Structure 1
Amino acid sequence: MAEKAVIIVHSGDLDKIYSAMIVANGALSMGMDASLFFTFWGLERLKKNGLDKGPLSKMNFLGLGKWMVKSRMKKANVVSLEKLMTDFKELGGKIIACEMTMEIMGIKPEQLHREWIDDYGAVGTYIMEAKDASITLFI
């Protein structure tokens, strides 16, 4: 059985989404399995055209901070979240969307990038995914 990383993506903040995607892609590139369980504000990033729409977690300054960080990331040749997601899926990463959050927040399946989502589930789905994981993170 391959080692596995399972990340709860709770935050929709741009910098935290980047962190989750970079760690998950790193795990996959090292031969591990990787799963992302998107819940609450993290689930908002799975909406169509929503992946990079979140604010920064600190110093957002009504969007100015986010603009500055994205500008610096571009200069540093940091790949886009869209590319990280494409790589994640191509490398065999698994995405689980939280059904409870969908119900609470009124998110319909047709609002999401269904081609990214491998499973819909609740806490039991996450527990089954994480119980044998080598790495579990909450971002």
Structure 2
Amino acid sequence: MTDKAVIVVHSGDLDKIYSAMIVANGALSMGMDASLFFTFWGLQCLKKNGFDKGPLSRMNLLGLGKWMVKSRMKKANVVSLERLMNDYKELGGKVIACEMTMEIMGIKPEQLNREWIDEYGAVGTYIMEAKDAKITLFI
């Protein structure tokens, strides 16, 4: 086993994206390697200007809940998702975009924020990343 965390980012819900990014940055800050495999609705976050566009997983209340949570996060000085991603990349984190999902959902590479993406891959890419990892998560 290697000191590595691999996270499948399946959900595009704001709170779940925050969870994935915080855990991934935490792993990197503790000296581990980290990889994020974005698929299905999580892949929507990699679209240009799409990183914090998802709803809350619970109590979204037609967007009011999301507004309230974002307001509370701002008061608590929680950094933005974009900042978390930039920090993640600066610390050496790896981002993989699922090619199959891109095809299914009609997402073109030019629609994605390519500066964040290290590679495009499928299930085999994920398996190779995760097979020896100490931590694997599905968010």
Normalised by the length of structure 2, the TM-score is 0.99
What's 2:131 paired with?
Answer: 131
What's 1:44 paired with?
Answer: 44
Once the two structures are aligned, what percentage of the paired residues are identical? 89
- Following TM superposition, by how much is the alpha carbon of 1:97 offset from its aligned partner in structure 2, in angstroms? 0.2
SS in 2 for 1:21: helix
Unaligned segments of structure 2, at least 5 residues: none
Q: Which amino acid aligns with 2:8?
A: I
Distance 1:68 1:108 in 2: 33
- Following TM superposition, by how much is the alpha carbon of 1:2 offset from its aligned partner in structure 2, in angstroms? 5.1
Is the 8 Å Cα contact of residues 8 and 36 (structure 2) preserved in structure 1?
yes
Distance 2:8 2:72 in 1: 27
Deviation string for 1:32-81 (max 9, x for gaps)?
Answer: 00000000000000000000000000000000000000000000010100
Query: Number of matched residues?
Result: 139
- 1:8 matched to 2:8? The reply is yes
Is the 8 Å Cα contact of residues 7 and 20 (structure 1) preserved in structure 2?
yes
What's 1:97 paired with?
Answer: 97
SS in 1 for 2:62: helix
Q: CA-atom RMSD, angstroms?
A: 0.8
Is the 8 Å Cα contact of residues 2 and 132 (structure 2) preserved in structure 1?
no
Moved over 3 A (4+): none
Unaligned segments of structure 1, at least 5 residues: none
